[in-house]
Amino acid sequence: MSTSVAVIGTGYVGLTTGACLAHLGHRVTCADIDAAKVAALAEARVPFYEPGLAELVREGVAAGRLRFVLGGAAAVDGADLVFLCVPTPQADDGSADLSYVEAAAGSIAATLRPGAVVVNKSTVPVGSASVVERIIARDDVTVVSNPEFLREGSAVADFLRPDRVIIGTESAEAGRRVAALYHSIDAPVLITDPASAETIKYAANAFLATKISFVNAIAAVCEAVGADIGDVIRGIGSDRRIGPDFLRPGPGWGGSCFPKDTRALVSIAEQGGYDFRLLRGVIASNAEQHDRMVAKVRQALGGSLRGATVAAWGLAFKAGTDDVRDSPAVAIIDVLLAEGATVRAYDPQAVIARQGLVQVGSALAACEGADALVVLTEWSEFLGADLDGVATRLRTPVVVDTRNVLDPPAAAAAGLTLLGVGR
């Protein structure tokens, strides 16, 4: 059954939601306040990198099921369901800033059709459904929470093949209507109250961040006692109670979600009178992981970064995206620059601008004349890198692999000294 849907906001979440719903056969109108972005999307030009998304946008536009308009009011006229997919950035006190959500709700309140369901897809703190209800102030409109669980780099697959669909509402009818959107998706649907749905999203992200920080801490223990983190991960990840996902050491977590959502959950807990010391410790541990990786680069360079040239592979916070928001790679590079190094960086998708940083067009070009190489993002092309070529281009054949993507025997055969994480 085809439903008329409006999506307010065309960032990672909004555009993925709109394109995937159109792919499922629904009639979707996406709105944004950026005229240039709307014009580009109307021509099926996606302004950021997300695997598979551009193809779905082109498919939806060509089929007439996906269109783009300027402003929320133009999108919601006649829509049965309206998704709010706008940013919730971190405020100065660590809480989630709801100003974009509030503005979006206010912009559509008067033009919503009677019986419409407004769906909070943005990551919002507990009580946000009530905030939107007060702004819309209409008895004939229902507000529902339907949090997203999309990973950048695999957002399309995550939408179309989710582990679960969470719907938070006090209205059985509204819950049924939102669930019907996903009728062709094979996934369990959990309908709960709005507060629980809003908490589920934050709890999931906080747990995953905790899992990453835990394995990074275990990697540090492995280095201290001479254990191998790879074997340790295989040993604990084979336990079904733990599982192997997110058990991979690295330079720390980042991106548009984990940093702000962990801090927001700490703030939510504080507002409720609970000191979430565990999660505060996870946040602090993640910052310390950046410091540990910088220390490895210093070690590779004999103790000082001043005057050194460092090749850096990776800028994005993870592979499969061009997103550099709160990227551990960028955080580490910033320290290298601050301590007097020059950085030659390569990333197949991401771009940043920094004084003292030169961005080049290939992984090997980054190594030309560098005193050391640091691998910061786990792009698949780095797994099969020409390590002999790396060795001949580096002034000193030393590599700090913060992602453990390079093969130690192959590195040794190329004459490289390899410093990994947890081994």
Q: What is the pLDDT of residue 250?
A: 98
Average pLDDT over the chain, rounded to an integer: 96
Share of the chain above pLDDT 90, in %: 95
Instruction: Summarize the confidence of residues 320-325 as an average pLDDT.
Output: 96
| 179 plus 236 within the same structural domain | no
Question: Residue 1 above 80 pLDDT?
Answer: no
| 237 plus 361 within the same structural domain | yes
Q: What is the pLDDT of residue 39?
A: 97
Q: How far apart are CA 380 and CA 198, in angstroms?
A: 34
Q: Looking at the domain assignment, is residue 113 inside a domain?
A: yes
Q: Looking at the domain assignment, is residue 200 inside a domain?
A: no
Q: What is the pLDDT of residue 93?
A: 86
Whether this model's pTM surpasses 0.95:
no
Instruction: Summarize the confidence of residues 170-188 as an average pLDDT.
Output: 96
Reference 3, options 30, 28, 34; nearest CA is: 28
Q: How far apart are CA 28 and CA 60, in angstroms?
A: 9
| 14 plus 143 within the same structural domain | yes
Strands 142-145 and 117-120: parallel
Q: Looking at the domain assignment, is residue 325 inside a domain?
A: yes
Q: How confident is the model at residue 94 (pLDDT cuts 50, 70, 90)?
A: confident
Q: Write the DSSP string, 376-400.
A: -S--HHHHT--HHHHHHH-SS-EEE
257 catalytic? Reply is yes
Q: Are 313 and 366 in contact (CB under 8 A)?
A: yes
- The owner of tokens 């669980």 is 149
Question: Across the strands, what pairs with 310?
Answer: 343, 372
* 323 C-beta neighbours (distance < 10 Å), count: 22
Reference 314, options 343, 355, 285; nearest CA is: 343
Q: How confident is the model at residue 2 (pLDDT cuts 50, 70, 90)?
A: confident
Q: How far apart are CA 71 and CA 15, in angstroms?
A: 15
Q: Looking at the domain assignment, is residue 318 inside a domain?
A: yes
Q: Looking at the domain assignment, is residue 207 inside a domain?
A: no
Q: How confident is the model at residue 323 (pLDDT cuts 50, 70, 90)?
A: very high
Q: Looking at the domain assignment, is residue 238 inside a domain?
A: yes
Q: How confident is the model at residue 267 (pLDDT cuts 50, 70, 90)?
A: very high
Q: Looking at the domain assignment, is residue 211 inside a domain?
A: no
| 179 plus 229 within the same structural domain | no
Q: How far apart are CA 361 and CA 96, in angstroms?
A: 37
Q: What is the pLDDT of residue 116?
A: 97
pLDDT digits (tens, 9 = 90+) for 212-252: 999 999 999 999 999 999 999 999 999 999 999 999 999 99
| 180 plus 225 within the same structural domain | no
| 115 plus 224 within the same structural domain | no
Which one from 20, 30, 85, 257 is the annotated catalytic residue?
A: 257
| 128 plus 242 within the same structural domain | no
Q: How many CA atoms lie within 13 A of 7 on its CB side?
A: 29
Question: Residue 171 above 90 pLDDT?
Answer: yes
Domain harbouring 77, CATH code: 3.40.50.720
| 291 plus 385 within the same structural domain | yes
Least-confidence region, from 90-99, 147-156, 289-298: 90-99
Which are the contacts of 95, defined by CB distance < 8 A and separation ≥ 6? 125, 263, 264, 267, 268, 271
Q: What is the pLDDT of residue 305?
A: 97
Reference 407, options 383, 376, 389; nearest CA is: 383
Q: How far apart are CA 75 and CA 155, in angstroms?
A: 23
Q: How far apart are CA 162 and CA 165, in angstroms?
A: 7
| 130 plus 58 within the same structural domain | yes
| 87 plus 140 within the same structural domain | yes
Q: What is the pLDDT of residue 32?
A: 96
Q: Write the DSSP string, 144-180.
A: EE----PPTTSHHHHHHS-S-EEEE-S-HHHHHHHHH
**What strands, in cross-sheet order, belong to the sheet with 342-346?**
357-359, 342-346, 309-313, 372-375, 398-401, 417-419
Q: Looking at the domain assignment, is residue 116 inside a domain?
A: yes
| 89 plus 168 within the same structural domain | yes
* Structure token digits, residue 336: 């290298």
| 339 plus 378 within the same structural domain | yes
In degrees, to the nearest 5, what angle opens at C-alpha 145 toward C-alphas 140 and 211? 175
The range of the structural domain enclosing residue 231 comes to 219-423
Q: How many independent structural domains does the chain possess?
A: 2
Q: What is the pLDDT of residue 91?
A: 87
- Evaluate the CA torsion angle 328, 330, 335, 341 in order and state its sign: positive
